[in-house]
Structure 1
Amino acid sequence: MPHYRAKSTLEQWRILQAVVDCGGYAHAAEKLNKSQSSLNHAVSKLQQVLGVQLLEIRGRKAELTHVGEVMLRRSRQLSQTVYELEQLACNMEQGWEPEIKLALEMVFDRNDLIPALKDFQEHGRGSRLTIEDTVLTGTLEHIRNESADLVITHQLPKGYLGEPIHDYYMDLVCHPDHPLAQQSSPISQDQLAQHLQIVIRDTANQPAEEGGWLKAEQRWTVSHFDEALRLVRSGLGFCWLPPYIAKRAMQKGSLRKLELKGSTCRKGSLYLVLPKGEKTGPCSRLLADLVLRHAPKRQQDDMEASAG
Structure 2
Amino acid sequence: MHRPKSTLEQWRILQAVVDFGGYAQAAEKLNKSQSSLNHAVAKLQAQLGIQLLEVKGRKAYLTPQGEVLLRRSRHVTQSVHELEQLANNLEQGWEPTLTIARELVYPMATLTDALVAFLPDSRGTRITIVDTVMHGTSELIQNHQVDMAICATPPTGYIAQPLCNLDFYLVCHPGHALAQIPDALDDQLLARYLQIVIKDTGVNVTQESGWLKAEQRWTVSNFHEAKVILSKGIGFCWVPSHMVQQELQRGELVRLTLTGSRCRRIGLTLVVPQRDTQGPACKLLESLLLAQHAVTGDNGH
Q: What is the TM-score normalised by the length of structure 1?
A: 0.65
Shift of residue 146, structure 1, vs aligned partner: 1.3
SS of 2:295 mapped into structure 1: helix
- Counterpart for residue 253 of structure 1: 251
Match of 1:202 in 2: 200
- Counterpart of 1:124, as a letter, is S
Q: Which residue of 1 aligns with 2:125?
A: 127
Flag the structure with larger Rg: 1
The equivalent of 1:136 in structure 2 is: 134
CA deviation map 1:156-197 (0-9, x unaligned): 222211111111111000011101111132101111111110
Aligned partner of 1:158 in structure 2 is 156
How many matched pairs?
Answer: 209
Question: Which of 291, 295, 298 pairs up with 1:298?
Answer: 295
Who is 1:179 aligned against? 177
Deviates more, 1:274-283 or 1:230-239: 274-283
Match of 2:116 in 1: 118
Question: How far has the Cα of 1:91 moved from its partner?
Answer: 8.3
Q: TM-score, normalised by structure 2?
A: 0.66
Q: Deviations over 1:90-141 (max 9, x none)?
A: 9884332111100011111111122211111111110100001110100111
Residue in 1 that maps onto 2:72:
none
Once residues 246 and 272 of structure 2 are traced to their aligned partners in structure 1, the CA distance between those partners, rounded to angstroms, is 33
TM-superposed CA distance for 1:286, in Å, is: 1.4
Report the Cα distance in structure 1 between the residues aligned to 2:280 and 2:187, rounded to whole angstroms: 48
Q: Secondary structure at the match of 1:207?
A: coil
Match of 1:168 in 2: 166
Distance 1:92 1:253 in 2: 55
In the other structure, the counterpart of 2:264 is: 266
What does 1:217-296 align with in structure 2 at a 5 Å threshold? 217-295=215-293
Q: 1:20-31 alignment to 2 at 5 Å?
A: none
Change in Cα spacing, 1:92 to 1:279, as seen in structure 2 (3 Å) is closer
**One-letter amino acid of the counterpart of residue 166, structure 2:** Y
Question: For residues 43-62 of structure 1, what are the alpha-carbon distances to aligned partners after superposition, in whole Å with 9 as ceiling and x for unaligned?
Answer: xxxxxxxxxxxxxxxxxxxx
| 1:234-290 Cα distance to aligned partner (Å, 9 max, x none) | 111000001221110000001010101122111022111001121222211111111
Quick check: 1:102–1:132 contact (8 Å CA) kept in 2?
A: yes
d(CA) in 2 for partners of 1:284, 1:147: 14
Unaligned runs of 5+ in 2: 1-87, 297-301
Within 1, Cα distance between the matches of 2:249 and 2:168? 16
User: What CA distance in whole angstroms lies between the structure 1 residues aligned with 2:142 and 2:89?
Assistant: 27
Structure 1 gap segments, 5+ residues each: 1-89, 300-308
Kindly, what percent of the aligned residue pairs are identical? Answer: 44
Q: Helix, strand or coil for the counterpart of 1:172?
A: strand
Counterpart AA for 1:114: T
Provide, for residues 14-67 of structure 1, a one-character-per-residue CA deviation record: whole Å limited to 9, x for no partner: xxxxxxxxxxxxxxxxxxxxxxxxxxxxxxxxxxxxxxxxxxxxxxxxxxxxxx
Aligned amino acid, residue 231 of structure 2: R
Q: Which amino acid aligns with 1:255?
A: L
Q: For the residues of structure 1 that align with 2:114 and 2:240, how far apart are their CA atoms? A: 21
For the residues of structure 2 that align with 1:145 and 1:264, how far apart are their CA atoms? 37
> CA contact under 8 A between 1:139 and 1:151: conserved in structure 2?
yes
3-state SS of 1:298 partner: coil
Partners of 1:94 and 1:197 lie apart in 2 by 50
CA distance in 2, matches of 1:276, 1:91: 12
Q: Quote the offset at 1:214 in angstroms.
A: 2.4
Q: Is the 8 A contact 2:160 2:270 kept in 1?
A: yes
Aligned partner (choices 191, 194, 197) of residue 193 of structure 1: 191
Question: In the aligned structure 2, how far is the partner of 1:188 from the partner of 1:214?
Answer: 14
Letter in 2 for 1:270: L
